Structure 1
């Protein structure tokens, strides 16, 4: 630690390591001290204050933080610079390609334009709160910088007729905040910054209801009308096993053992950067082995025979990828193209408005209604947490409540 021979305001000599304070020509006061940095070494850090007392307060805080082992940043990162580093060296290495694509979009479209220029170590909770408030209030034309936004830079605040009125959903706002919070948390773990200011800002979770799916009669009707569809087996697996769309389209014959009666979920099909890829399942719990009931085994055997006929008819045009549910040429099926089969079937079954994902909800709800233990249901459908199974799906219906209260009334009566 360098010896400081400067004197404080009262004329007493400062002790070694107490730092320095001096008056600048512009009237402000500057301070400097050797403090701990994130590189693990001591470095001379300088700052400024409006007057002597302000400089002294800042100097004391700087030294106190260093004494508590809280380092200062060794590099002058901007928020944008660190987000680029985090995306390249952390997210791309540890996360799935679809997740990387979503994070990159949020960083490019929202975080960098609003916060990228700020010094990372100077970012405050107030900056984050202001940013969250702004993205909630801005309409689409303001975010895109259209002519309307340039002419009415605050058209959202003024509710001008030129405002398109299209705002980010509560779920998207929560996701943007989560990306920033996760990036800053990595910076804290790597000792780039002392604390995560984004975690100090609370963003309320959106309230949404989950469709419990089809009842038993509707599910039977759907299987009946899909009997002659080339994806009949896909609907059987969706209803019986609760597989996600990407898990179904990424299923390979080598993952299915019809003799032993089991199925392994090891891949999911996703479009990433314009390409269809087989990627690891959504979560660690999503990679699972599921036994096949007889209904699924029968449907898969019939489906394999139908696929062999399609392959023979396609001849040289067939491209074998080993998929259970490919296109008519054997190639991976574009996930959105499944609607060409699903929409006519749901109309024929009188299920207009139902999403394909609601078949997964149907599986969970029907299993719980059959008194299957929630832990077993969780492992069948691959929920990451049993809280998802219980909190979202295990909701009693009005009829269930009526029967329960009826029994209570009978007991009291």
Structure 2
């Protein structure tokens, strides 16, 4: 009797080919649907045993069902950064976009030629070590890695990669306190006295008096100022852009705020408005009416670098002049005494943004109200203000340094 042929074993649909041995490994192929170009998405897996191949094939099928499967696209890190930055260009402020482009240059230099899908946490870790070897500050290295993480997070959303490989890579913790540079009251008074003859004196005065950012001062319009109520509204900023300046909305939602000022600021602004009217009268039709409080000498928006240049020049000129005067007056005296006298009259270097830090420092020391300072500066949370100005909040320690007898006293005490 002829033996009956054994029926062929049917494999479930979509389970892939049978594992076959190739050399010392087993391999099989599994189909995971179709790619974006319409072709079948076939993947090949390898294992030491047939069971290994079947397990890896099942893992691929689960990843495909969950949308966690890496694509076939050979997009490089540099190409994806270009695409990601192109999308940011339409929504990010110019200064922020320029910062992202600077970060992207570091990333492209080390990881640009690598395929996005082949990027691993080890590559990102090596990149972080390379940034450290360059001598970059820890805060800047964190910013660069944050930019890479944000770009890869978008790639995950677009299903170009299954996971964000930059997320596991962490740098050392940020310093507990972040000290900022600021002048004391006497130095501010001395600088304002020296800067009085200069054209941008009203801008410096308003900066020290209100704590506005340089970009907020330059974007301030006369329609945003109420001299009778002695208030101003921060509605726009003026930031440097490639080849010029950009006027746009404030940095954050909380940056759009109302700031009060004293009668001294009102007097300075009244005098400044009269001076601008005279400049406008002299230039006539050549005057450009931008409506800004601090325009250039022709009425056009003033580039932020001019503020930095003028402040630096004022300090440099004053210091050079005072050094000559003291050396002439103290000629023949010991060098140590001359140097000591020079140090007492020298103005330290200060950038325009440090006017904001100086205002916040003096206001916090005077009012002892971090919440008030935070609202005035336009910070999103008082904790942000505390992180920056914690080193000046020494009164907090003084107010809670109470004797045990007072702690045990049931009568409550109200702190200032």
Instruction: State the TM-score, normalizing by the size of structure 1.
Output: 0.77
Please say if 1:238 is aligned against 2:207.
yes
Instruction: Measure, in 2, the Cα distance between the counterparts of 1:97 and 1:246.
Output: 12
Q: Secondary structure at the match of 1:239?
A: helix
The residue aligned with 1:163 is none
Are 1:365 and 1:394, in contact at CA under 8 Å, matched by a contact in 2?
Answer: no
Instruction: Measure, in 1, the Cα distance between the counterparts of 2:108 and 2:311.
Output: 40
Please say if 1:99 is aligned against 2:96.
yes
Please say if 1:370 is aligned against 2:339.
no
The residue aligned with 2:63 is 65
Specify which of 172, 177, 187 is matched with residue 218 of structure 1. 187
Are 2:45 and 2:57, in contact at CA under 8 Å, matched by a contact in 1?
Answer: no
Q: Deviations over 1:186-216 (max 9, x none)?
A: 1223333232111111023554743251223
Q: Secondary structure at the match of 2:167?
A: helix
Are 2:149 and 2:164, in contact at CA under 8 Å, matched by a contact in 1?
Answer: yes
Please say if 1:176 is aligned against 2:176.
no
Are 1:248 and 1:268, in contact at CA under 8 Å, matched by a contact in 2?
Answer: yes
Q: Secondary structure at the match of 1:286?
A: coil
The residue aligned with 1:6 is none
Q: Secondary structure at the match of 2:259?
A: strand
Specify which of 99, 106, 110 is matched with residue 106 of structure 2. 110
Given the superposition, is the C-alpha separation of residues 342 and 37 from structure 1 closer, same or farther in structure 2, using an over 3 Å criterion?
A: farther
Are 1:368 and 1:394, in contact at CA under 8 Å, matched by a contact in 2?
Answer: no
Deviation at 1:300, TM superposition (A): 0.8
The residue aligned with 2:84 is 86
Instruction: Measure, in 2, the Cα distance between the counterparts of 1:235 and 1:408.
Output: 45
Query: Deviation above 6 Å: which 4+ runs of structure 1?
Result: 24-27, 36-39, 409-412
Deviation at 1:304, TM superposition (A): 0.6
Q: Secondary structure at the match of 1:263?
A: strand
Are 2:364 and 2:393, in contact at CA under 8 Å, matched by a contact in 1?
Answer: no
Pairs aligned (count)? 370
Deviation at 1:390, TM superposition (A): 1.1
The residue aligned with 2:384 is 388
Deviation at 1:389, TM superposition (A): 0.4
Deviation at 1:68, TM superposition (A): 5.0
Unpaired stretches in structure 1, ≥5 consecutive residues = 1-10, 140-166
Given the superposition, is the C-alpha separation of residues 271 and 69 from structure 1 closer, same or farther in structure 2, using an over 3 Å criterion?
A: closer
The residue aligned with 2:323 is none
Q: Secondary structure at the match of 1:285?
A: coil
The residue aligned with 1:143 is none
Q: Deviations over 1:106-137 (max 9, x none)?
A: 32x22234223333222211111112212332
Q: Deviations over 1:204-262 (max 9, x none)?
A: 35547432512233333333333333222212221121111111112222222223332
Are 2:279 and 2:297, in contact at CA under 8 Å, matched by a contact in 1?
Answer: yes
Instruction: State the TM-score, normalizing by the size of structure 2.
Output: 0.77
Deviation at 1:327, TM superposition (A): 1.8
Please say if 1:121 is aligned against 2:117.
yes
Please say if 1:339 is aligned against 2:335.
no
Instruction: Measure, in 2, the Cα distance between the counterparts of 1:102 and 1:381.
Output: 22
Instruction: Measure, in 1, the Cα distance between the counterparts of 2:140 and 2:128.
Output: 11
Q: Deviations over 1:278-326 (max 9, x none)?
A: 1322222222222232222111111111111222233444322222112
Instruction: Measure, in 2, the Cα distance between the counterparts of 1:265 and 1:236.
Output: 17
Deviation at 1:180, TM superposition (A): 0.7
Are 1:37 and 1:73, in contact at CA under 8 Å, matched by a contact in 2?
Answer: no
The residue aligned with 1:187 is 155
Are 1:237 and 1:296, in contact at CA under 8 Å, matched by a contact in 2?
Answer: yes
Are 1:28 and 1:48, in contact at CA under 8 Å, matched by a contact in 2?
Answer: no
- 1:13-52 matches, within 5 Å, as 14-23=11-20, 29-35=26-32, 44-49=41-46, 51-52=48-49
Deviation at 1:378, TM superposition (A): 1.6
Q: Secondary structure at the match of 1:366?
A: helix
